Amino acid sequence: MRLIRIDHVSLDAADREGTLRWYGAILGLARAGTGPTDDPGEPVFLGADGAQIALFADRAPGLRHIALATDAAGFAEVRENLDRAGHAYRLEHHADHDSLYFDDPDGATIEVMIAPSG
């Protein structure tokens, strides 16, 4: 797989609004977009596209997943490798890209996504 970048890191926050304020005050990260934060299962992104922190609020605080961006060939390669190994994964179609979600041997969730163009 050709790793283009670490696209985003997703975290679960106990107090998402407070955490948003903290990341703004301490790291100077602005909220991307203006969508509502009332659905705890939907992420709120901080930072510029391609280098973001995503905050969720529907699970215990901690790391949710790390998203690795690749191209279409890399995405297909990873999916074939997972299939060949019999390793479970979940395919999701997002508004601007497709993603595979799976756990590494230590239980950390990895997202491999096709890097959106543009």
Domains of the chain and CATH, by start = 5-114 (3.10.180.10)
Helices (H), the chain: 16-27, 72-85
Phi, psi of 103 (to 5 degrees): -95, 145
pLDDT score of 55: 94
pLDDT score of 118: 52
111 contacts: CB under 8 Å, gap ≥ 6 = 10, 65, 66, 67, 68, 99, 100, 101
The pLDDT tens digits of the residues spanning 39-91 come to: 999 999 999 888 899 999 999 999 999 999 999 999 999 999 999 999 999 99
Tokens 């041997």, residue? 105
Task: Answer yes or no: pTM beyond 0.95.
Answer: no
CA–CA dist 100, 91 (Å, integer): 5
